[in-house]
């Protein structure tokens, strides 16, 4: 065995036995793997050791630093304090489509690299591509030029950023090594740090439709990410928010875009509006564009009321080659050929809407994908007509299933039907905001 191989085995064994690795040792693994010198089988063994043994804060910070160093790191200082947000993903989460334009309309440059949907989780880029022609593959040069010109950019991650994560994530995906706080936190935060924003508002979703199923693991992830951000000089806070039921009413790309536009017009669903106001205000305060939450909230509200948030979305769509007419006339967005309306068979209160089931139904309808790169149908999805805590009279609609004519349509309709839980007794509305983690001062 060569020296590199021997050393790598030692490091894997140490982690397997619960030991700690130094920053230099972690860097050896990350750079060796990224350059193809450490083979997949060794890196998978190491990732599994981390799943089983974990990493402490110092190791997690070192892992993140190495991942950032594997590629380009954008320097956005000439734009002032640039803000960004990140959600760990869920069902019906169209927050970026609303909050990014609102915050940019309040004068804070927003530079965001987003992802695509996978499994029951939707992706911002897919949603934005509901605007015909929207380009989600800007080069670094185009990214910077657009930020300069418009103060807002939302695109896919460029390949030069954190190549280590691209390789490691693909490996984790097929080796059962995704669920480790240190690996998830470093994966997310390395991309945020490399993308160059100065202030980042994180949202860890908690519940059946989220990556993190319970509050304790969500809190651990939130704390790990905030600690990494602080160690790297970012202003960062993290909200914990409910994903036991979908966010808002719409699930599916064009349907969600329609709801985002309605929200920018001041006609959004209550939970989405709350989240958007909260995240938007946090971004303005962290970015130092507002001194207090109260002032920041007032500015977000004004950007909704005076239409400047909607104008910013129009500008974003046009700048990235999309058809901005769809912002003003959402009836032009893709529409599914068939809408199945689900009606209550008896009068009852909605006790649950299983977010994962609704998300999986949307995948069956073609609105999401099971494998990376698979094509999707922008028009299909689910429109909830009621949320947890609402009463539905017999015969009233509680959901619409927008079908594209796929063989899975009938099963998807049944899945949406069975995602609803009912109760004869009054049901309390779900709490949306479940916690917040901020840097210690
Ligand atoms: N999202 C990421 O970007 N990385 C992970 O490891 C998990 C979710």
Region 247-262: what's the mean pLDDT? 98
Distance 346 CA to ligand 1 centre (A): 42
Torsion sign over Cα 253, 212, 361, 372: positive
pLDDT in tens, 174-188: 999 998 999 999 999
The answer to whether the pTM exceeds 0.85 is yes
From 112, 165, 169, 175, give the residue whose CB has the most ligand 1 atoms within 8 Å, as the site to mutate: 169
CA 191–ligand 1 middle distance (angstroms): 10
pLDDT per residue over 262-280, tens digit each? 999 999 999 999 999 999 9
Taking each helix axis from N to C end, the angle separating 57-69 and 163-173, rounded to the nearest 10 degrees, works out to 120
State the pLDDT at residue 119.
86
Q: Average pLDDT for residues 24-41, to the nearest whole number? A: 96
- Whole-number percent of the chain with pLDDT over 70: 99
Give the separation between CA 434 and CA 314, rounded to whole angstroms: 33
Query: Would the pLDDT of 6 be above 80?
Result: no
234 pLDDT above the threshold of 90 = yes
**So what's the pLDDT on residue 173?**
87
Mean pLDDT lowest among 33-37, 78-82, 372-376: 372-376
Answer yes or no: are the C-beta atoms of 416 and 120 closer than 8 Å. Answer: no
pLDDT score at 148: 98
**Nearest protein Cα to ligand 1, atom 5:** 184
pLDDT mean across residues, the chain = 96
CATH classification code of 3-68? 1.20.970.10
Q: For 404-420, what is the mean pLDDT?
A: 97
Question: What is the average per-residue pLDDT within 223-230?
Answer: 96
Ligand 1 shell residues, CB under 6 Å? 169, 178, 183-184, 187-188
Q: What is the pLDDT of residue 441?
A: 59
Across residues 124-137, what is the average pLDDT? 97
Domain with CATH 3.90.1170.30 in the chain: 333-423
Write the pLDDT tens digit of every residue in 307-360.
999 999 999 999 999 999 999 999 999 999 999 999 999 999 999 999 999 999
Q: Does residue 413 carry a pLDDT above 90? A: yes
Q: Mention every residue, 6+ apart, whose C-beta is less than 8 A from residue 19.
A: none
Q: Quick one: tokens of 134?
A: 């929207």
Give me the architecture of the 77-329 domain, per CATH.
Answer: 3-Layer(aba) Sandwich (3.40)
CB 50 within 8 A of CB 178: no
> b/e map of 123-143 (b: 16 or more CB within 10 Å)?
bbbbbbbbbeebebebeeebb
User: Is the Cα dihedral 273, 387, 212, 169 positive or negative?
Assistant: negative
Q: Residue 172 CA: which ligand 1 atom is closest?
A: 6
* Residue spans in the chain of domains classed CATH 3.40.1030.10: 77-329
Q: According to CATH, where is 1.20.970.10 located in the chain?
A: 3-68
Alpha helices for 92-237 (secondary structure H): 95-105, 124-128, 140-150, 163-173, 181-194, 215-231
The predicted pLDDT at position 266 comes to 98
| Closest-CA residue to 46 (of 61, 58, 28) | 28
Nearest CA to ligand 1 atom 3: 188
Domain 333-423: give its CATH superfamily.
Pyrimidine nucleoside phosphorylase-like, C-terminal domain (3.90.1170.30)
Say whether pLDDT at 249 is over 90.
Answer: yes
């Amino acid at each position: 065995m060569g020296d590199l191989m021997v050393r790598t085995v030692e490091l894997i064994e140490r982690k397997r036995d619960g030991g700690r690795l130094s920053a230099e040792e972690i860097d050896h693994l990350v750079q060796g793997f990224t350059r193809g010198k450490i083979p997949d089988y060794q890196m998978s063994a190491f990732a599994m050791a981390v799943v089983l043994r974990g990493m402490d804060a110092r190791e997690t910070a070192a892992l993140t630093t190495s991942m950032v160093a594997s590629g380009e790191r954008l320097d956005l200082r000439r734009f002032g304090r640039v803000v960004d947000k990140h959600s760990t993903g869920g069902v019906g989460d169209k927050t970026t489509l609303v909050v990014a334009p609102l915050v940019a309309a309040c004068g804070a440059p927003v530079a965001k690299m987003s992802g695509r949907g996978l499994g029951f989780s939707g992706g911002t880029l897919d949603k934005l591509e509901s605007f015909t022609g929207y380009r989600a593959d800007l080069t670094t040069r185009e990214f910077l030029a657009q930020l300069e010109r418009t103060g807002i950019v939302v695109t896919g991650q460029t390949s030069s950023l954190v190549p280590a994560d691209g390789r490691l994530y693909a490996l984790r995906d097929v080796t059962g090594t995704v669920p480790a706080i240190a690996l998830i936190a470093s994966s997310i935060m390395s991309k945020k740090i490399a993308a160059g924003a100065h202030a980042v508002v994180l949202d860890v979703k908690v519940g059946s439709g989220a990556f993190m199923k319970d509050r304790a693991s969500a809190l651990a992830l939130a704390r790990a990410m905030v600690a990494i951000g602080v160690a790297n000089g970012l202003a960062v806070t993290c909200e914990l928010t409910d994903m036991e039921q979908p966010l808002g009413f719409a699930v599916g790309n064009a349907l969600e875009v329609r709801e985002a536009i309605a929200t920018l017009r001041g006609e959004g669903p209550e939970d989405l509006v709350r989240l958007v106001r909260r995240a938007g205000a946090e971004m303005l305060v962290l970015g130092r564009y507002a001194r207090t939450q109260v002032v920041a909230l007032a500015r977000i509200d004004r950007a909704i009321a005076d239409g400047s948030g909607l104008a910013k979305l129009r500008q974003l769509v046009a700048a990235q080659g999309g058809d901005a007419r769809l912002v003003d006339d959402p009836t032009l967005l893709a529409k599914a050929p068939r809408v199945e309306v689900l009606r209550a068979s008896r009068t009852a209160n909605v006790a649950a809407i299983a977010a994962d089931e609704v998300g999986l139904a949307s995948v069956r309808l073609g609105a999401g994908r099971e494998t990376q790169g698979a094509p999707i149908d922008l028009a299909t999805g689910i429109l909830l007509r009621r949320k947890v805590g609402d009463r539905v009279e017999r015969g009233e609609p509680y959901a619409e299933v927008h079908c594209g004519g796929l063989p899975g349509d009938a099963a998807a309709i049944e899945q949406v039907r069975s995602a609803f839980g009912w109760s004869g007794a009054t049901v309390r509305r779900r709490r949306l905001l479940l916690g917040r983690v901020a840097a210690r001062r």
